[in-house]
Amino acid sequence: MSNIPTAKLNSGYEMPLIGYGTFGGNDAPDQVYKATKVALKAGYKHFDTAYIYKTEEALGKAIKESDVPREELFITTKLWQYFHEPQHVGPVFERSLKNLQMDYVDLYLIHWPFSWEFCGYEFSELKATKDMKVTNVPIIDTWRAMEKLVHEKKARSIGVSNFTIPMLEDLLSKCSIPPAVNQVEINTALPQEELLEYCKSKNILLTAYSPLGNPGYRKNNHATLDDPVILDIAKKYNKSPAQVVLNWGVNRGYAVIPKSTTPERIEANFVYFKMDESDIEAITAIGSEHPVRGCLPENMWGPNCAIFD
């Protein structure tokens, strides 16, 4: 049996705090199919995908071919920006279910807090540019269509991704079903202390994407896993730097969804251990003074999509 802790969501369901992320490049579907088989064998129960990743089908196929019962798994997928108008939420969600070969998901998220003009459901039609126009569909309109999925028992929980505190405040003031999760970038370069505290106070679980950062990418900064503080703590616990950084997140009280296609890393990432509070604080301090955000929507889709201060 795995000793990976779970968190009880405000919807009443349990979510494992270490999951497997399936975002990738052009060859992601084939890689995710093979890697999911490794992850299932290692004991992973929590899998994170999205319609736009084009990996739902590969994930669903690997799960279907395994002997792991569906009810033991926690599956997350996401609603992309083209589908925020309420009439498109149900149809694109049904496509996700079909891809996954499932009749429900455990968690359905709004992927980004802005909308683009609908241009079809086929992947060939979904061409984003560096100058995307935002259509300003009210989040609450999209959310109400997602609440319907809960009432229909097709999504057990619903949540958001990349939402700031003011966005969450606005949604909480209008919604019937509160978001169970907010999936955001969190790593040692971006510890998100204020958002973590806020979400805990509202009983919203955070999930960290890019929990290991982008090693080697940070300008004028130690690559995330090479920081001397992390290396010292890794020695203390006899763990790898990646295991330390992932467990820093779990010990702070949120889920982490590392992605890898290397069997050894997939297995190594699925390790939980308790850390001393002083070590957690030391790692948090690395990025507290000058946080660096790696995932900026304006860099991908232009200035209309800028949402972070």
Tell which residue, 71, 152, 158, 80, has the closest CA to residue 119.
80
255-256, strands of its sheet edge to edge = 20-21, 46-48, 74-79, 105-110, 155-161, 181-185, 205-209, 255-256
How many CB atoms neighbour CB 238 within 10 A? 8
Q: Is 309 exposed, middle or buried (0-12, 13-18, 19+ CB in 10 A)?
A: exposed
Per-residue tokens: 59: 């994930």
Could you give the CA distance from residue 243 to residue 35 in angstroms, rounded to a whole number? 19
Specify whether 108 is catalytic: no
- Which residue type does 218 have? R
CA-nearest of 228, 214, 140, 136 to 177 is: 140
What's the Rg (C-alpha) of the chain? 19
Largest CA distance in the chain: 54
Considering the candidates 53, 82, 209, 254, report the single residue annotated as catalytic.
53
Integer Cα distance of 106 and 74 in angstroms: 6
CA distance 221 to 173: 39
Residues designated catalytic: 53
